[in-house]
Structure 1
């Protein structure tokens, strides 16, 4: 593992993306979102994804210079067509509109169609909590998860991110896949020669496996058996059926075919806490809940409130981005292929 200044990592990602036609501002946004994930310890959504984004743009699966446009607006709701672009670019537009509508109406729902992977969900809900708003975000993905009792991939990892602003040391936030493990973590385990935990996946014949390659050829499992499976199904419906986005098993994932137009759907809910009991009250109550959760620890033990581990990891990394050897090798190959300056040596 080597560590690099955030500014250098974002600049490197920007060079890679602008080399394939992404506008400067969009490239910096995507680079910042990926670096933020690595700093929080979510390597599956960090710079590991950059070569994939580059391949996908070059193959035509993602539009480099997308022009997101609003296709429907009604009251406190709106639908954004991402024009086949990078998910981060669409989400920046969606978050701004959701915050404005929630400020006007007290709550807002923005749906996105024609999109792609938006990175770690917490990056977007944190933008809302910084404005005193609670947020809920979910998305479709490519098919990689089998429903409870199944063997064939039908569902996506269908992430769920929920965040509430707090007057404590950061928002009360959950950012999770509805599979037992995120797809990117399985890819990272394969690239790093590690096994995945038991209960994460089945091979193509439906037998349990800890081999990440067999898992990628088979299916991931939902968390919580039938409960996680049911939640995943409902999240996929909300992210896809409110728009013209595709279901997971109608999609060829960019990991499988970089030329695939995924037509991912996202759903973002923003709630202005000022419209209820007031921002101060809500933030104080969220901080109180964080402390109540932490206080459940046995003597000498630790219980984390949602969001604590990621904040602790970011505090440890400071202004540096930790990157694993296999990821660095991929980044070096990508840089050489694009003819751009590499990421550097790190420490």
Structure 2
């Protein structure tokens, strides 16, 4: 089924409110959901929305909480999501974040006690559109093993980076520390499909291509120890410095009635203070790299996208929440 962006936002708002979200929460989540679709990250767009809706209904997400902001230092913004969504916490701090970056050149945004953050590139892309360079890290419920252990100890622990570029969309890098996102494993299991080797292990710690066995086991880091090291760095930024739950301590994002209580860490920098022609330099360098056949991450984002295609089965699933 095909929706224009306005209709897609309205549909997302409608189902969120029906599942128990406040209008403010629904607006923030709908905007992020549509943005994920526009960036080509549909796995964390409308396909991920049922996880939020179930969270509202089961108590994993506080659907009506207003995040609390405080400022421990001039260039630090600390947010307690109070068991709600990270997107609303970021929205509530966004203008203040821009103000403080303008004043101090760099500002750190630290958020704790939230549900999983959705598309991580969404946060840094918004900052890059304001001329800022941004780096983000977030953790989640333990889904990924590391080293010789078969126990899940980290979330997929993604990191994202964005930078402004003259006369084009920002450069955006958004990738998990795991070899794949959990939603891809789950989708394969639902459809009875196999998965590539190296994505996951089964509950006995053996490599598996059986998606249903992988669900019982754990994801694997990309690049072995190197990916696991990045997952650890993300964990320290997203949970250690924010005071959020470590992934090992985070309740499940798709089961139970307790919030994962995880974190989101963002650094925003005004590059113009260091290099006045930064965006122009970026454009020139990207053009040079592209001419050599180098793929530039972020090209998939379509700012002028006017329609979103959703499967009829997904629409039916979302519409069921309207009857609650």
TM range (shorter): over 0.9
Give CA-to-partner distance per residue, 1:98-127, whole Å, 9 cap, x none.
222111100011110111122211211111
Show structure 2 runs of 5+ residues with no match. none
Partners of 1:95 and 1:201 in 2: CA distance:
37
Partners of 1:276 and 1:148 in 2: CA distance:
40
Partners of 2:321 and 2:226 in 1: CA distance:
45
Query: Is the 8 Å Cα contact of residues 25 and 63 (structure 2) preserved in structure 1?
Result: no
Give CA-to-partner distance per residue, 1:63-114, whole Å, 9 cap, x none.
1111111244212112111111112111222433322211110001111011
Match of 1:234 in 2: 233
Match of 2:119 in 1: 120
263, 285, 288: which is aligned to 1:289?
A: 285
Match of 2:263 in 1: 265
Q: CA deviation at 1:26?
A: 2.8
Secondary structure in 2 matching 1:135: strand
Partners of 2:317 and 2:181 in 1: CA distance:
25
Query: Is the 8 Å Cα contact of residues 189 and 215 (structure 2) preserved in structure 1?
Result: no
Match of 2:298 in 1: 307
| 1:339 pairs with 2:323 | yes
Partners of 1:39 and 1:190 in 2: CA distance:
26
Supply the RMSD in Å over aligned alpha carbons: 1.9
> Cα distance 1:191–1:7, how it changes in 2: closer, same or farther (>3 A)?
farther
Match of 2:274 in 1: 276
| 1:141 pairs with 2:140 | yes
Partners of 2:114 and 2:219 in 1: CA distance:
23
What TM-score, normalized by structure 1, do the two folds share?
0.88
Give CA-to-partner distance per residue, 1:125-178, whole Å, 9 cap, x none.
111111111111111101001113331100111110100100142212101111
| 1:322 pairs with 2:309 | yes
Q: CA deviation at 1:283?
A: 0.5
> Cα distance 1:96–1:158, how it changes in 2: closer, same or farther (>3 A)?
farther
Partners of 2:26 and 2:37 in 1: CA distance:
17
Q: CA deviation at 1:241?
A: 1.3
Match of 1:216 in 2: 215
Query: Is the 8 Å Cα contact of residues 179 and 219 (structure 2) preserved in structure 1?
Result: yes
> Cα distance 1:168–1:214, how it changes in 2: closer, same or farther (>3 A)?
farther
Show structure 1 runs of 5+ residues with no match. 298-302, 341-347
> Cα distance 1:94–1:149, how it changes in 2: closer, same or farther (>3 A)?
farther
Match runs of 1:1-347 below 5 Å: 2-255=1-254, 257-278=255-276, 281-297=277-293, 303-308=294-299, 310-311=300-301, 314=302, 318-323=305-310, 325=311, 328-339=312-323
Match of 1:344 in 2: none
Partners of 1:30 and 1:334 in 2: CA distance:
14
Q: CA deviation at 1:258?
A: 4.4
Partners of 1:295 and 1:171 in 2: CA distance:
18
Partners of 2:212 and 2:34 in 1: CA distance:
26
Query: Is the 8 Å Cα contact of residues 88 and 117 (structure 1) preserved in structure 2?
Result: no
What is the number of equivalent residue pairs in this alignment? 324
> Cα distance 1:96–1:218, how it changes in 2: closer, same or farther (>3 A)?
farther
Q: CA deviation at 1:292?
A: 2.6
Q: CA deviation at 1:16?
A: 0.9
